[in-house]
Amino acid sequence: MIDDAPGQLRQRLHTSLADSRLELGYLIDHDNARRSGLRGSGFDLATLGWANVRAGQGMLLSTTVRSEGASTQMDAAEAVAQLKGAQRTAQALDDALSVAQVASLSANECQTDMLADVDPEQDGHYSGAVNGQSATKPAGGERDGGDPVERLATPLLFVESPDAIALATPKSALAHAGGSVHLTSQQDTHIAAGQTVAGVAGGQVALFAHRGPIKAIAADGAVSLQAHTGKLEVLADQSVTITASDERIDVLAKEKIVLQAGQTTVTLEGGDITFACPGEFRVKAGQVPFAGGASGDVRLSLPDGLLKLEPDQMPDFSG
């Protein structure tokens, strides 16, 4: 159907099978007897059945305006500029990690590769003529001769918007990457969960704040830091304060405890306590009773070994 009412041009292609339709232009409720209420403007593609959109060479989904169809099909200059900014941010943070001797952002490499696929200054352009026509933009009043026409170098899905992007579902959402997941924000990144936040890594985990503190707080429960097969280190350039507001502080070791300040040490090892200092040793107390010897068991609850992830438990999705 074609409707050429002044200021309300519209076209409608419809089939009753699965109520499938494509509407263009001025969108209104469809009624064969009369013109119905306004639904919007643009285009509306809908069906009660299944839908499929495929692009074998790649797809660009964008809400950036190109007035009167100006520029080229795969022009995403604004988004490419943002990705370059994200790359610079990620690289600067990676450099900070190196100085702090923290594991680097190895996924930066995949960001660099993807940027090359969409950047027309790298691989994101036609490299030659297309069906006999020059794949360059108009220049100097001619239809070609300018910069190469943009295209996606690989069949990727490129989604960009000059404003917000929102994804929502009342049920679960799933995302999977056979390679790396790289997330960069120029400002804040927030993760919130109504119940549990769980993060698991088959390798290492690094948490680094370049400026500002790191806080781990359990408002109603315990906080546990464990190193099952290695050392646990707590280092500070200034003071370290350990406080038990209501009860006690226990320091336990199976073999030996050494407390040291400067050249003075207190060593607890086996059944012995050794005080060592180059200066004066003082004891101040109302009473100093020395009773007979006694001992107690130290119980340290840690796993005996490390769970081994077999190759079939960590499949390779790269192919």
Kindly list the averaged pLDDT for each block of 10 residues, start to end, along the chain of length 319: 86 92 89 79 94 95 86 92 92 86 83 92 92 88 87 95 95 93 90 92 87 90 90 92 93 93 94 94 89 74 64 53
Q: 0.85 exceeded by the pTM?
A: no
CA neighbours within 13 Å on the CB side: how many for 278? Answer: 4
Distance CA 193, CA 173 (A): 13
pLDDT attached to residue 33 = 67
pLDDT attached to residue 312 = 57
Kindly state the DSSP code that residue 21 receives in the 8-state scheme: E
pLDDT attached to residue 3 = 82
Question: Beta strand 59-62 with 157-160: parallel, antiparallel or unpaired?
Answer: parallel
pLDDT attached to residue 118 = 94
What's the angle, vertex CA 260, arms to CA 259 and CA 261, rounded to 5?
Answer: 135
> Residue 249, Cα to own-chain centre: how many angstroms?
38
pLDDT tens digits, 157-203 = 999 999 999 999 999 999 999 988 888 898 999 999 999 999 998 88
pLDDT attached to residue 108 = 85
